[in-house]
Structure 1
Amino acid sequence: MRCGFNSLAAKVETVLRKDPYSGHVFLFRGKRGDLLKALYWCDGGLCLLAKRLEKGRFAWPRSDGGVVALTTAQLSLLLEGFDWRQPVETVRPHSAL
């Protein structure tokens, strides 16, 4: 995962046939699954963020045609390292006594 700004922007244009300057967030994951890079256009420049997990792997969605649309909540969970595909209920209702 040695790609930088120009390489990732070129992949967005050639492979995904999308505009890297559109304001959408484009995510790329390394082979091992523990490294994630995000490319997006903001305020007149490209931003490139990288995150490496100390343990585990990013839960990566299956794609049809190479493009997956995520909600804001799904993206947040993905970036935090949670498996957003199988959310776990954390709040349990109290039983009436």
Structure 2
Amino acid sequence: MRCGAERLLAHVVHALGSANAHHGYMFANARATRIKMLVHDGFGMWCAARRLNAGRFAWPRDIDTAKPIALTQAQFDALVVGLPWQRLPEMSTITRL
């Protein structure tokens, strides 16, 4: 998590070949307590960081780094606040127990 925007961009270009305009690229530390997001807004790059004081981000552990994951707006919003974004469809309804 010591990387700045330039070094994160180098990681993206190395892994994916290029950084696309109007895309965001997210990184997490090994404990999933911090995330950084690198965004190419069409004019330049900016970097944002978030840290959880308690708990962990629901970060996928077994992903192929060469294959990006696309998130919906709801999934992204849940990920950034530390909610289990993979379970959003089953969390959207209330069932009788």
Please give the TM-score of this superposition, normalised by the length of structure 2. Answer: 0.81
> What is the rounded CA distance, in whole Å, between the counterparts of 1:3 and 1:45 in structure 2?
17
> What is the rounded CA distance, in whole Å, between the counterparts of 2:71 and 2:6 in structure 1?
24
Q: CA deviation digits over 1:5-25, x for unaligned, max 9? A: 110000000022231x52201
Match of 2:21 in 1: 22
Larger helix fraction of residues: 2
> What is the rounded CA distance, in whole Å, between the counterparts of 2:94 and 2:84 in structure 1?
20
Number of residues of Structure 1 aligned to a counterpart in Structure 2? 93
Q: Could you tell me whether the CA contact under 8 Å between 2:36 and 2:50 is conserved in 1?
A: yes
Range that drifts further, 22-31 or 62-71: 62-71
Moved over 6 A (4+): none
Gaps of 5+ in 2: none
In the TM superposition, residue 66 of structure 1 has moved relative to its aligned partner by: 4.0
Structure whose alpha-carbon radius of gyration is higher? 1
Gaps of 5+ in 1: none
Aligned residue identity for 1:39: L
